[in-house]
Amino acid sequence: MTTVYFVRHAEPNYNNHDDELRELTEKGLEDRKLVTEYLSDKSIDVVLSSPYKRAVDTVMDFASYYSMTIEKIYDFRERKVDSEWIEDFIGFCKRQWADFNYKYTDGETLAEVQKRNISALKQVLEQYENKNIVIGSHGTALSTIINYYDPTYGFEEFDKIRQLMPWIVKLTFVGKKLIDMESVNVFEMLNE
């Protein structure tokens, strides 16, 4: 059995419009400790991540604590929206979720994001079969992975997690066959 913990990044600094270099806020840096706490008893074998700073930095606290390196995988990066900052992001998201082939001129479709993320995931499942894996990820990229396995997951579900940062989705596989998917709200752990 292979267990993959996709970790959607903690709160980023939206004043930084550089998608690759957008850092975590002070709150994000603090909240990533919840990820470390959740993963601490999961016998993690490998830590992977999107190369984007906010994703790497979210799993960095865990990796550093356990003296693990983070392997960056470019295909786990977030969707490219466009070269320009989008003011009506919600309207754009609704349109993309309604049509997986919709994109701005210089951006990616959700179908393209899903294809490269699923391809990268399948390679990880081959390379790290029967391991426990952490993957630093993003809200849209992760949501397209969920949609691949559960096509009923659409804009409404995406909108519910839009402000949930960090957020963990645990996927359990036998070979490449998904046998279980569980959403983990690390903030709810504080109240248990």
Task: Give φ, ψ of 101 to 5 degrees.
Answer: -105, 5
Average pLDDT of span 170-177: 96
Average pLDDT of span 96-106: 91
Given its phi and psi angles, is residue 175 left (phi above 0), alpha (psi -120 to 50 degrees) or beta?
left
Distances (CA, A) of 155 to 12, 14, 69, 146: 21, 21, 34, 12
Span of 6-20, 71-85, 146-160 with lowest mean pLDDT: 71-85
Fold of 2-145+161-189: Rossmann fold (3.40.50)
Tokens read off for 61: 């606290």
pLDDT at 3 over 60: yes
pLDDT at 190 over 90: no
| C-beta neighbour count of 106 within 10 angstroms | 10
pLDDT at 99 over 60: yes
Span of 1-15, 47-61, 71-85 with lowest mean pLDDT: 71-85
Average pLDDT of span 43-48: 98
